[in-house]
Amino acid sequence: MEGELAHIGAGLAAIGSGAAAIGVGTVAGNYLAGALRNPAAAASQTATLFIGLAFAEALGIFAFLVALLLMFAV
């Protein structure tokens, strides 16, 4: 029974990946919107873009990690 609950929990934690996807999309989309408005400044902000993407994605990875832990380690 506990195992099944853990699997359900893993599935719920996987929703977090979708949330991270929203975050990554927001970052990339806003970067693109800004870059198209001011292409001259776009190149100088790619580092910021990647940092933002990394932070947004890290939280999705945390959700994934929770899912993995529930699946394999609990």
Q: Name the site residues for another protein (rule: CB under 8 A).
A: 2-4, 6-7, 47, 50-51, 53-55, 57-58, 61-62, 64-65, 68-69, 71-74
Nearer to another protein, 8 or 22 (CB): 8
Nearer to another protein, 42 or 69 (CB): 69
- The minimum distance between CB 37 and another protein, in angstroms, equals 23
- The minimum distance between CB 21 and another protein, in angstroms, equals 13
* In 1-74, alpha helices (H): 2-37, 39-42, 46-68
As to burial, measured by CB atoms within 10 angstroms (0-12 exposed, 13-18 middle, 19+ buried), residue 42 is middle
Nearer to another protein, 34 or 57 (CB): 57
C-alpha 54/C-alpha 31 separation (Å) is 14
Question: Considering only CA atoms, which of 9, 24, 27 is closest in space to residue 65?
Answer: 9
